[in-house]
Amino acid sequence: MNDNNPLRAASALVQAGKTADAIDCLESALGYTRPNKDRPANTSTLARTAGVLCEEAGRLSQAGLYYEEAVATAEHDPLPLLALASLRWRLGQAESARSHLARAELIAQAASDSDVLEMIDNIRKEWTSDND
């Protein structure tokens, strides 16, 4: 699919039931950004979206790699950290999950982002109920 907007192209592929092709589309776009020291602003969104699609497809280790890439390219964005924390929790890596959640919380507190702080509270409640 030839589209200058890889997110739009990936969305169209997902809607057509071609999730693997959507992941490939996003990977291709990310591949163009990796050699650049200063990566484009949408790199984190591309990586996080690829992670979500991989997670939905059951490709959890690959999802983790994309989430880590999203975290590395968006230092002050708590959302990739939340995605990575949730994935780590699902994989039984509780300590890593808590660490990523704590980092996201620090970023959200510094930005006074009440929406993300509420998301973090909800995640903690969910994790607590998982342990009951």
Tens digits of residue pLDDT in 10-65? 999 999 999 999 999 999 999 999 888 888 888 999 999 999 999 999 999 999 99
Is the whole-model pTM more than 0.85?
A: yes
Rounded Cα distance, 1 and 99, in Å: 39
Burial of 66 (C-beta count, 10 Å sphere; 0-12/13-18/19+):
buried
93 confidence band (pLDDT: 50, 70, 90): very high
Rounded Cα distance, 121 and 124, in Å: 5
1 confidence band (pLDDT: 50, 70, 90): very low
99: pLDDT strictly greater than 50: yes
